Amino acid sequence: MNHPDKPKNSFCGNVRRREFLTTVGGGFTHLALAGMLAGDGFFNKANAAGYTNPLAPKTPLIPAKAKNVIFLFMYGGPSHIDTFDYKPHMYGMDGKTIDVKTFGRGGKKNQGRIVEPKWKFKQYGQSGKWVSDLFPHVGSCVDDIAFMHSMTADSPIHGSAMLMMNCGSIISGKPSLGSWLNYGLGSVNQNLPGYVVMLDKTGGPISGAKNWTSGFMPASYQGTVFRSQGEPILNLKHVNGMAPQEQRMLIDSLNHLNHGHLEERFDNTNLEARISSYELAYKMQTTAPEAIDLDSEPEETKQLYGIDQPKTEDFGRKCLLARRLVERGVRFIQVYSGGAHNDDNWDAHGDLEKNHNHHAGGTDKPIAGLIKDLKRRGMLDETLIVWGGEFGRQPTAEYEKGTGRDHNAYGFTMWMAGGGVKGGVSVGQTDELGSTAVEDRFHVKHLHATILSLMGLDPNDLSFFYGGLDHKLVGVEGADPIHQVIA
């Protein structure tokens, strides 16, 4: 297997995900790298080597602390200094012009007018964590949360920053985090997609499907858009309606004919796989609607998520749905708060107070409800919740007047809860203004490394060979998990 010309650290040197897959799947080892992909069952040419379901469940390669991830994506970029990154010295400085380096949509600036945090902060929990009045309910959960206040990203512009947070690179074409998890771990429930995305009711984020793409990986690993009401998945229901027994008849006949076809092509496991895919599709049609049916949930639970109030109904429903999908084995669920453009998401360039009151108001209770519900059901230990946007916001005003803040990728806050994460801790710091991370600076790739690692995948080993390179979510140089937040 080892080849003197193979680069050190390529997966040929060690047991990596793909090698593992090959051993399990086809067991042929005579070909070099790309040949192994064939063993994964992706390509036509290897039909004789055996079909491998790309989404078959796989054992984690390192001890896993979490089994599922719920990523609450605050699209647009919430202001960290108005939410979780307490900057007491800024109060009273409103309007003061200071020297500070910023880089946002409006370009690079060296000076700005301070907009002091527009909400008061209070201490919560045993840990005494300071949280702003935007998030009183989340405040009550701080002892389960690890805050990372020193996040940095490569771009302060939505388009590329979204790609960075979702796919690990500011250049398009790379697979998203959920794709990597499904590639590495497979899906334990074949009747539901392993990677689900729930969008905001106002629309998708910019770049749409690029945010849940599988990039150069097979489409089997891309995110499936899931709706919280109506038909959850595209094509789940026949376009003009088809009764189950009618469909059953149809599939039975299809199976019969397909088995006849298979007889003379007995070695082609792809044909068999296609036969079973109809059975899976058939089951999915009952499993998926059942998953979104909240009727069986007690009123108390619905209230916990804020489903009983108009303001929090939508996001609350999605959070509760996320829990139900976790219960059904969905590996990675991403829920968007905010969609479309401008103030439909957290992109508070204009009236900061109006924008953040709206978005925090719609999500605070549902998020806290999710944490509490998972906890009381004993699910929080194995479910990792990630909260944050593609970047944070600047301490200074964007325009001459008003409270709008421009983007800030020099320093911002993200937090995680459950799934092997320490509660009640805060790591990293921004400067006194929150303009830039100064202590324990972490990059988005460290966040990704942490998530992969908690899920039982070594971020520096999990790779996919494409275009002459073993691609990794965390980049060729690799990245370590944020150990300070791992329990």
Could you tell me if 247 and 238 are in contact, meaning their C-beta atoms sit under 8 angstroms apart?
Answer: yes
Instruction: Scan residues 155-174 and list those touching other proteins (CB under 8 A).
Output: 155-161, 170-173
Q: Does 2 bind other proteins (CB under 8 A)?
A: no
Count CB neighbours of 19 within 10 A: 20
Binding mask 28-57 for other proteins (x = CB under 8 A): x--xxxxx--x--xxxxxxxxx-x-xxx--
CB of 267 to other proteins, least distance (A): 4
CA gap 403, 99 in Å, rounded: 18
CB of 211 to other proteins, least distance (A): 9
Shortest Cβ distance from residue 336 to other proteins (Å)? 10
Output the six-digit token pair for 220: 């089997």
Instruction: List the beta bridge partners of residue 109.
Output: 102
Q: Which two tokens stand for residue 90?
A: 């800024």
Under rule CB under 8 A, residue 299 binds other proteins: no
By the rule CB under 8 A, 264 interacts with other proteins:
yes
Angle at 477 between CA 473 and CA 481, to 5 degrees: 60
State the nearest-atom distance from the C-beta of 298 to other proteins, in Å.
30
Q: Which of 1, 91, 128, 267 binds other proteins (CB under 8 A)?
A: 267
The reply to whether 20 sits near other proteins by the rule CB under 8 A is no
Three-class DSSP category at 453: helix
- Each residue 52-91 as x (binds other proteins by CB under 8 A) or -, in order, gives -xxx------------------------------------
Q: Residue 464 has which token pair?
A: 């996919």
- As a whole number of angstroms, the distance between CA 43 and CA 470 comes to 18
Between 351 and 480, CB nearer to other proteins: 480
> What is d(CA 207, CA 455) in angstroms, rounded to the nearest whole number?
27
List binders of other proteins among 347-386 (CB under 8 A): none
Task: State the angle between helix axes of 310-327 and 269-292 in degrees (0 to 180), rounded to the nearest 10.
Answer: 140
**β-bridge partners, 197:** 225, 334
Which residue's CB is nearer to other proteins, number 2 or number 44?
A: 44
State in angstroms the smallest separation of the CB of 131 from other proteins. 24
Let me know if 141 is exposed, middle or buried by CB neighbors in 10 A (0-12, 13-18, 19+). buried
Please report whether residue 274 would count as binding other proteins according to CB under 8 A.
Answer: yes
**Of 23 and 258, which CB lies nearer to other proteins in the complex structure?**
258
The least distance separating other proteins from the CB of residue 313, rounded to whole angstroms, comes to 19
CA pair distance 47, 24, nearest whole angstrom: 16
d(CA 19, CA 26): 11
Judged by CB under 8 A, the residue of 273, 294, 425, 486 near other proteins is 273
Q: Which is nearer to other proteins, 154 or 364 (CB)?
A: 154
Tell the smallest beta-carbon distance from residue 353 to other proteins (Å).
23
Instruction: Please name the residues in contact with 443: beta carbons below 8 A apart, sequence gap of 6 or more.
Output: 151, 152, 153, 154, 479
Residue 43 beta carbon to other proteins: minimum distance, rounded to whole angstroms? 6
- Positive or negative: CA dihedral 210, 212, 217, 218: negative
What does the alpha-carbon distance between residue 437 and residue 463 come to, in Å, rounded to a whole number?
30
Nearer to other proteins, 270 or 309 (CB): 270
Choice between 54 and 316, CB closer to other proteins:
54
Residues of span 462-481 touching other proteins by CB under 8 A: 465-469, 477-478
**How big is the CA angle at 116 (ends 112 and 119), to the nearest 5 degrees?**
150
Measured from the CB atom, the residue of 189 and 383 that comes closer to other proteins is 189
Options 307, 409, 452, 462; binder of other proteins; rule CB under 8 A:
409
The identity of residue 175, as a single letter, is: P
* Residues within window 188-247 making contact with other proteins, judged by CB under 8 A: 190, 193, 199, 203-210, 213-216, 218-220, 222, 224-225, 227, 231, 233-240, 242-243, 245-247
Q: How many CB atoms lie within 10 A of CB 163?
A: 24
Looking at residue 7, the DSSP 8-state letter turns out to be P
Window contacting other proteins (CB under 8 A); options: 25-33, 122-130, 316-324, 368-376: 25-33
Q: Smallest distance from the beta carbon of 158 to other proteins, in angstroms?
A: 6
Task: Select 231 or 297, whichever has its Cβ closest to other proteins.
Answer: 231
User: What is the distance between the alpha carbons of residues 11 and 55, in angstroms, rounded to a whole number?
Assistant: 21
The least distance separating other proteins from the CB of residue 192, rounded to whole angstroms, comes to 10
> Using CB under 8 A, which residues numbered 84 to 123 contact other proteins?
105-109
Residue 341 is a binding residue for other proteins (CB under 8 A): yes
Q: How far is CA 457 from CA 177, 178, 448, in A?
A: 12, 13, 11
Rounded Cα–Cα distance for residues 142 and 320 (Å): 20
